[in-house]
Amino acid sequence: GAVVSQHPSWVICKSGTSVKIECRSLDFQATTMFWYRQFPKQSLMLMATSNEGSKATYEQGVEKDKFLINHASLTLSTLTVTSAHPEDSSFYICSGNRGQGLVSNQPQHFGDGTRLSIL
């Protein structure tokens, strides 16, 4: 159990385009979803925490107007990279977590990631 589906797997588009990435929890309700980006040979960088029905919490240095996150249901969160530029090219990965409340011991389950290339 705990399958997270992420779509699309690959995106290649022109500079200035907006790109939407979907993250779905297939067999559990993800109270919280997380969005990460990862550059080659580097570790995961948390971009934002998304809670169903409320605004996302962005990490320091992440532009909320650039990376729009919507978590409209317990099984779907979307990340939209607006007016993407070559420096936004990266591997974007979402994860879902069953936990809720102040303390959670639930692991995060990752989607397969989206490789975004901006030309």
42 binds other proteins (CB under 8 A): yes
12 binds other proteins (CB under 8 A): no
Q: Which residue in 80, 36, 79 sits closest to 59, CA to CA? A: 36
44 binds other proteins (CB under 8 A): yes
Question: End-to-end CA distance of the chain, in Å?
Answer: 37
Where in 47-76 is the site for other proteins (CB under 8 A)? 49
Whole-number minimum distance, CB 105 to other proteins, in Å?
A: 4
d(CA 89, CA 72): 26
Assess contact for 47 and 37: CB atoms under 8 A: yes
Q: Which stretch binds other proteins (CB under 8 A): 10-18, 65-73, 77-85, 92-100?
A: 92-100
d(CA 106, CA 49): 15
Assess contact for 115 and 11: CB atoms under 8 A: yes
Q: Which of 26, 104, 117, 119 binds other proteins (CB under 8 A)?
A: 104
Q: Where do contacts with other proteins occur on this chain (CB under 8 A)?
A: 6, 31-32, 34, 42-44, 46, 49, 91, 93, 97, 99-100, 102-113
